[in-house]
């Protein structure tokens, strides 16, 4: 079963396009897709850039709760 990632949940909740996150973060849209689908684990720099791009705390976005 596919588990929804926090990033994907935020994307759906806020209606953000992955293209927008890619442009704001400078991370390739394909990588954003892989991260949001749980198929790629972002490094610290990528996490920080993505969180900043969607204006949410990195800890809220990428820590398990």
Residue 8 in tokens: 């994907």
Whether 30 is covered by a domain: the verdict is yes
- CATH code, domain with 21: 1.10.260
Element (DSSP H or E) covering residue 60: helix 58-62
Judge whether 1 lies within some domain.
no
State the average pLDDT for the chain. Answer: 93
pLDDT in tens, 34-65: 999 999 999 999 999 999 999 999 999 998 75
CA–CA gap between residue 58 and residue 24 (Å, rounded): 15
pLDDT at 8 over 80: yes
- Domains held by the chain: number: 1
Domain that holds residue 53: 6-57
Is 62 a member of any domain? Answer: no
Instruction: Name every residue whose Cβ is closer than 8 Å to that of residue 21 and which is 6 or more positions away in sequence.
Output: 11, 27, 29, 32, 50, 53, 54
């Amino acid at each position: 079963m596919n588990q929804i990632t926090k990033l994907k949940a935020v994307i759906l909740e806020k209606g953000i396009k992955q293209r927008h996150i890619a442009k704001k973060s400078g991370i390739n849209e394909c990588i954003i897709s892989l991260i949001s689908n749980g198929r790629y684990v972002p490094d610290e720099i990528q996490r920080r850039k993505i969180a900043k791009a969607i204006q949410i705390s990195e800890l809220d976005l990428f820590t398990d709760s």
